[in-house]
Amino acid sequence: MLTLGGALAAGCGAGESTEEADAAPHPNVLWIITDQHRADVAGYEGDTLAVTPSLDRLASQSVRVSDFYCQVPLCVPARQSLLTGQFAHTHGAFRNTADFRPEERTLGHAFSEAGYATALVGKTHCNTSGFEYVREFKDQLAAFMERHPEGQRPGAEHFRFRKSGEFEFADTMNPMNFPAGAGPRFFMEEAVVADTLEFLEQRNPERPFFVWASFLSPHPPLFAPDEFRELFAQAELPLMGSMESDEPGLLPINVRRREEQELDQITDVQLLEITRAYYAALAWSDHCIGQLLEGLERLGLAEDTLVIYTSDHGEMLGAHGLLQKRSFFEGATRVPCMVRWPGRLEAGALRSNVAQHIDLTATVLDLAGVPAPNPSRAPAGRSMRELFEDAGADWEDLALAELSGTSAAGEVRRMLRSGSYKYMWHAEGEEALFDLESDPGELTNLIDRPEYAERVADLRARIEALGDATEWSVTRGR
């Protein structure tokens, strides 16, 4: 078996020579990313209650990867891994602060230097250097307010309530407490669609484009336009779990989190409201993604454009008694992955494999024939090109996720998915092993069972071989 580092470096295809890259096709690239979309809440995943017709259609036109993982279940570091193609322990941005090494190079640099017109539109929470055009939240909100002086962000009442001091963790989600509100409301998703299409219309048509279109929803607080909220106002959605008592076998680190956030105070009624709000927010994002893809077709660009869809991380949504992210459980770490390239990649294909964010980065560079962003640093991911073209291609099912600890030393916690097994390691000395084939709900911790001792030792050694994280921002920020 390959070592962790060896498997991730093998056959990436993104570090090809300049001559090879120049000879390769240079398709347009539209990379769509949402925030906090857990992989299993989607019609194409078999969730019949999710309203995701646009993503369902895109899935039918794309190659998908079933078990696809984020590098860090947290906004900033996850996005930084996607844009640099590196693990968090290499780029060092573990916290939700826009604090990056000045020398760090991104996909913006790579595609700009390859002759692409490059743009990053919408939510940033990442290193925007290298992109020729950046249109982020503050610019979009300012433009909206200039057009609508009487306008507001959705849920103005929610934010006022938040400042009152009478605020519990459940309220951070906005569990259907406050509607978006009447009158002009600023929704970033609408602005992302409009600004992306404007960029595509006004760009130099002689240059291919690389656009990172970044949606905020379904990140909490969960505000969708009221008509989408009404879709789920009375929906009897199944709950992912219960918040009222600790799940048997839950790791102490998760029990401590539940205590700190007083998650056991959240009732099943509140959790249902949170779930309804989440489904509504995802339906709204799906609607806007549909508008963006329709615009791409209207401009005559769809056939020549590589379209990617993923999310920075997932959402626990009550599973294992947890909310939001910062967890190695499936709800927080497994995210969608689909790639559409008309006439080049098989439409509607599903690869039942394990892969990760940085593999997607390597794949896009490979498909576009663009050299990696940093010539002095080998890409950490593996291109999935051969896997996309042939389901029987040689591929080791492997993914790594990381989180920084909460202590002053900022110890790094890690999760390794290898085949059907998921191993969790925390600097606090807590470990877990789950067999996702027989236990997809991650309910039975196998760590102390003698028959798994050899496997645990192997996975533990592979984690330990990674060493410490770089001393950049592990202990900075929050």
pLDDT value of residue 476: 44
Name residue, tokens 């309530």.
161
Domain-embedded: residue 139:
yes
First to last CA, the chain: 37
State residue 41's pLDDT score.
98
Residue 269: band (very low, low, confident or very high) from pLDDT cuts 50, 70, 90: very high
76: in domain: yes
**pLDDT given for residue 478 in this prediction:** 37
Cβ 74 vs Cβ 337: under 8 Å = no
Beta strands in 300-425 (DSSP E): 305-311, 337-340, 349-356, 398-404, 412-418, 421-425
Alpha-carbon gap, residue 82 to 78, rounded angstroms: 6
The sign one gets for the Cα dihedral 175, 229, 73, 437 is positive
In a domain, 275, yes or no: yes
CA distance 255 to 311: 27
pLDDT of residue 284: 97
Mean pLDDT of the chain: 88
What is the predicted pLDDT for the residue at 468? 66
Is 429 contained in some domain?
no
Let me know if residue 122 belongs to a domain.
yes
Q: Decide: 115 and 207 in contact? Cβ < 8 Å.
A: yes
Provide the domain count of the chain.
Answer: 1
Q: Which residue from 314, 316, 230, 334 is spatially nearest to 266, judged by alpha carbons?
A: 316
Question: How many CA atoms within 13 Å lie on the side-chain side of 171?
Answer: 14
pLDDT band at 155 (very low <50, low <70, confident <90, very high): confident
What pLDDT shows up at residue 466?
82
Domain membership flag for residue 276: yes
Reduce the DSSP state of residue 166 to 3 states and report it: coil
- pLDDT per position as a tens digit, 351-383: 999 999 999 999 999 999 999 988 777 778 999
What's the CATH number where 49 sits? 3.40.720.10
The reported pLDDT for the residue numbered 405 is 61
pLDDT of residue 25: 62
Mean pLDDT along residues 23-44: 91
- Letter for the amino acid at 186? F
Sheet architecture: strand order including 28-34: 133-136, 117-122, 209-214, 28-34, 305-311, 337-340, 63-69, 349-356
Question: What b-and-e string marks burial along 64-76, b requiring 16 or more CB atoms within 10 Å of the CB?
Answer: bbebbbbbbbbbb
Q: Model pTM?
A: 0.92
Closest CA to 35 of 77, 93, 67, 74: 74
Per the structure, the complete domain to which residue 264 belongs is given by 4-395
- Strands 412-418 and 421-425, sheet pairing: antiparallel
* Domain assignment of residue 121, yes or no: yes
* Residue-level pLDDT at 470: 57
> CB neighbours of 296 closer than 8 A, spacing ≥ 6?
30, 200, 302, 305, 307
d(CA 39, CA 54): 15
427 vs 396, more confident: 396
Kindly state whether residue 123 falls inside one of the protein's structural domains: yes
Residue 176, pLDDT > 50, answer yes
